[in-house]
Chain A
């Protein structure tokens, strides 16, 4: 998971793309330690525990759980990992580019 995510984040650094972690390992200091050890640079929410408020609201019972949202905030894919996650992200970025060109053409 993590090596693949790192590659994706690096490759898409100039694209309208964000990877957000919702971490359940503990308080901020603990998460910071893990991020440093793993070399993770993307933003992480500190949800403190597996029963944290975001994980509870999102009914997460298995880790990792993945959601992929499009630029409008619509859930488009669930539980896609590694290559499938990358395909999902590329599909949605492709849609955005397509729409951008469409609007440009009408103007």
Chain B
């Protein structure tokens, strides 16, 4: 009895196994071999993908990396040709909208997180990651959360911009400060700035002529300190009061720093400001995307540089953190080869490519499959440690561009380079948001839907 029993059981087991195998194979086939990294590109025939992005304007050195990536991808998939188009940053949003209205142009394009990506999504111009990538591709990218809306994510970040305060150790030493223990509290920071000024250097440098320096500083150093979740910030956009004591509190702090900035903030561009830090005429610079390249250049030139989290004054749990934001790609809704575009996005996230990205640009890849132990420099290690502690995103990605261009740009030029008072600054934000709400009823509804997915 025993033997036939066992045989029968074995047979059943085998059959079950076979069935399971068939089932797996069948599911795999019905989901057309999977998406993203699992998508079988070969069956699409000859495909030309057009990719629009900002190239080296955003991340110096990335054009070369992209060229390599495309060459490797095309070698792997000879039926695919990828064309890249580099667009000017100034007119980027308009370029995307234009293409969307015409439903032509890019198959995939670069975008920043938050509203930048979501506004394209809300207009129906792009498809969510879930349509073009496998769940595994998405789950390893920590920054997809910045574009979560209606249960989906709408931008596939490639790398993370970080916004530390960078300081020149030699100048700290010269001013009698401990170059290895930068200030962490607001009071200590003001004290340090005072000492730096007394030592004859510009404590902090920034260029605001092209405006966006105001966005970077305001967002990554000041505004985030008010929050423990950006739900509150989006709610603020919907019906908040920007002249409230809470919002005003960070502007007060900014005004306290005015004496420690360079005296020509409005007459130089952001890049020129960074240049002054780089050549050692200023002691600190706030939150600069792509900061790692600056640090590397300076280290190479024999200048010792340290990083710190922005000094804490706020009571939000985000106050003590290093802000980061993931920038990446979206697939357009009119693309005829969405899955191929998804496959290419996934290819950019293969370990070898992520390693090359870090090696060539110094930016942190936005993927947990990238092993942070590759970071050798002390500054990178410190920043990666802070990122591991807390994933705090970039506040300007949670409100409309208008609040940025006619709010942040204007307020920073006014406070640091003009005679604007804190009250006038707060009123500037309030006026802008009032105007915006009046004009953008449809977007307001999108923000309402968004606030519930945060």
The answer to whether A and B come from one shared complex is: no
Question: Which residues of A does B touch, CB under 8 Å?
Answer: none
Q: What is B's interface to A at a CB cutoff of 8 Å?
A: none
